[in-house]
Amino acid sequence: MYMCSVDGCISYKFSSVEEESSSYHDYQEIRMQEHVQKLGIGYIPRSVWVVLERDLVDSCKAGDDVIVTGIVRQQWKSLNSGSTC
């Protein structure tokens, strides 16, 4: 029987996931913003959400200057079931 290892948790409802059949991988969502120094006076910097996957996870932290090359996709479905797009 499996038991939750978090203090105060009394849950026993766990199921085993076969590693070969799972398609889980690491991901991280970051918000990338334009450089404020490169904008004219009175302009608000635009931002876009970027999803980092697999080996790119934790490759940058808040405040880092990054250049991102990738594929832009519109997300029509939410990542979590039951939440809005």
pLDDT at residue 75, as a whole number: 66
pLDDT at 1 over 60: no
Is 2 within the bounds of a domain?
no
Q: Kindly list the distances between the CA atom of residue 9 and the CA atoms of 6, 15, 67, in Å, as whole numbers in the listed order.
A: 6, 16, 42
- Domain hosting residue 51, numbered range: 27-56
Other CB atoms closer than 10 Å to residue 21's CB: what's the count?
6
Is 14 within the bounds of a domain?
no
Closest CA to 47 of 58, 57, 62, 59: 62
Which residues, 6+ apart, have CB-to-CB distance to 39 below 8 Å?
45
Is 68 within the bounds of a domain?
no
Task: Tell me the HSE value of 51 on the side-chain side, using a 13 A CA sphere.
Answer: 11
Is 76 within the bounds of a domain?
no
Is 73 within the bounds of a domain?
no
Is 33 within the bounds of a domain?
yes
Looking at this protein, which amino acid is placed at residue 4? C
| pLDDT band at 7; cut points 50, 70, 90 | confident
pTM as predicted: 0.52
Total number of domains constituting the chain: 1
Model confidence pLDDT, tens digit, residues 27-79: 889 998 888 888 888 888 888 888 888 888 988 888 888 888 888 777 666 66
